[in-house]
Amino acid sequence: MQAVQLQIAEQLKVQPPFADQNALEAEVARRIEFIKQSLKNARLKTLVLGISGGVDSLTAGLLAQRAVKELREDTGDTAYNFIAVRLPYQIQHDEHEAQAAVDFIAPDERHTVNIGPSVQALAAQVKAFEGQHASAVDFVMGNTKARVRMVAQYTIAGARGGLVIGTDHAAEAVMGFFTKFGDGACDLAPLSGLVKNQVRAIARSFGAPEALVEKVPTADLEDLMPGKPDEASHGVTYAEIDAFLHGQPVREEAYKIIVDTYTKTQHKREQPYAP
């Protein structure tokens, strides 16, 4: 079992557990430098990130804001800028937490794009939905919401000459828990290789409110099951996923679920098929 765990962890470039506070701070510094270098390499000065209210976008936003702040200080160029974007579908049930996350990040700019009208207009034009069960349509439209959100972020980035940040990390990557060409699409993924408890630890190191750090993770994409916890979709807990990725013992059932899901979702982590 452990050999398979280590093989998957290597493929996902999982970072080892933080040995101590110094190790955590070193990893934060490394990832901030990565963001700064990504902007420099692209010869661009703006970062764009959708803020959902969950700890992943909170952490990525904190890293992004710190990166542009350091770039302004390092270069004296005030054009470096971070735009945090709220992308609600109509009225988000946990909007107060999303706004609290944006407030804590204190981005250079905050934008809001309500994706509701766009998603509903698209759904109304899709003939393929005719005769489909409501739950099937709801699931498909959940992925459409994620893709429309990414379209909005790239529209802002295009208008302002910037890069779009993604929030994917190892605990989601192993489960394929992202929408292909939706939240899985981005220019840089500064949380890559981290497990969920490491993402939380980084947010906590910035002094983020514990209510946001420990907020129950939810993609919140399905109208028929609003706020559905990620773990309910996974069938395993993030603690078990983290332990699996760090080569630690897990329940046999959890091991099977994670390995089977990783295999089934391999196509999400690869480039499009080509001859």
Q: Which residues are catalytic?
A: 56, 172
Answer yes or no: are the C-beta atoms of 222 and 139 closer than 8 Å.
Answer: yes
Q: How buried is 105 (Cβ within 10 angstroms: 0-12 exposed, 13-18 middle, 19+ buried)? A: buried
Phi and psi at 167, nearest 5°, equal: -115, 10
**Tens of pLDDT along 237-261?**
999 999 999 999 999 999 999 999 9
CATH number 3.30.1330.50 is the correct assignment for the domain at 2-266: no
Instruction: Give the Å distances, CA to CA, from 54 to 29, 36, 99, 169.
Output: 22, 23, 11, 13
Q: How far apart are CA 59 and CA 268, in angstroms?
A: 23
Average pLDDT of span 220-233? 92
Cβ neighbour number for residue 107 with a 10 Å cutoff: 21
Phi-psi region of 209 (alpha: psi -120 to 50; beta: other; left: phi over 0): beta
- The residue ranges of every structural domain in the chain are 2-266
Nearest Cα to 61, choosing from 86, 88, 44, 94?
86
CA 1, CA 243: separation in Å to the nearest integer? 12
What is the C-alpha to C-alpha distance for residues 87 and 51, in angstroms, rounded to an integer?
Answer: 7
Report, as an integer, the average pLDDT of 148-164. 98
Q: Is the pLDDT of residue 1 over 80?
A: no
Q: Which pLDDT does position 93 carry in this prediction?
A: 83
- For all residues of the chain together, what is the average pLDDT? 97
DSSP state of 227: T
Tokens representing residue 44 in the block: 């661009």
238: Cβ contacts below 8 Å, ≥ 6 apart: 171, 195, 196, 197, 217, 230, 231
Averaged pLDDT, 194-211: 98
Question: pTM (2 decimals)?
Answer: 0.96
Residues 103-154: pLDDT tens digits? 999 999 999 999 999 999 999 999 999 999 999 999 999 999 999 999 999 9
